[in-house]
Copies of this chain bind each other. A is one copy, B any other.
């Protein structure tokens, strides 16, 4: 299948490799020439010299861009939609504002083009391994058209609802994640300060009503769990900078819909404080433990 792919960053690059490896013919584009060059010599991958070359004859066009402004700019301001055939399925994998996804999807629909928002979780590791999770907004039928391609890049595919719903599901999930990671870090800090062993306390809470994803697979206290960022100085994983981006998308949506989000807002503010005070933007988001217990694990 011929696939146009725009946006070859840390996520888009490995996604293209997986598509090509699965035998699809990928026409790729990025405004950064070195990213395009990095795909040189990979079988089934062809570098486009202009963004519009990605769409010609493509069964599917995929974008993986940094923010709302880029998605709107590419599809609408630069009228990529104008170069896309109505037989092409468009999948935007960027994490952006639900409102922007809805606007771009509506513009696509006006031209008779099917479009999905399909933001991912799983990080660069998931992109490389082809085990991403996709949260998809758009019609059931479009999702079924996309499924074989999404399955090349990921292992979990959720249909969240109509256009924009993929974005909403992702930012709701990540807002909850940020809050429960921070609350987990607080509970561990309090327990340790009162004399408990962090591994014992983690194990008790994991089996009790405090149980959550961080305690199951991503414990923030250094040394409690092997192979997680907390046990390697919070290197790798999901960056604080990116968690903040998702939190701010969630809070912008909350402003738009008038939803109280006191816990989500607090998480954003603690992460911003952590980012600035501990120069933590490039650390894994479980490093919020350090803001709460600066000497955790020492």
Contact = CB atoms under 8 A, between A and B. Distances in A.
Contacts of A277: 277-278, 291, 294
Interface in A184-216: 184, 186-191, 193-197, 200-201, 203-205, 207-214, 216
How many copies, total? 4
A258 B186 CA distance: 12
Given A200-B161, A248-B255, A183 B183 contact: yes
B252 A255 contact: yes
A151 interface: no
B293 A259 contact: yes
A273 B203 CA distance: 26
Secondary structure at the A interface, as helix, strand, loop or mixed, is helix
A196 B167 CA distance: 11
Contacts of A259: 186, 189-190, 193, 272, 292-293
Nearest to A208: B173
A179 interface: yes
A258 B171 CA distance: 18
A252 B190 CA distance: 11
A174 B209 contact: yes
Contacts of A159: 200
Contacts of A268: 265
9 contacts: A159-B200, A161-B195, A176-B210, A189-B260, A190-B264, A193-B254, A248-B255, A252-B252, A260-B272
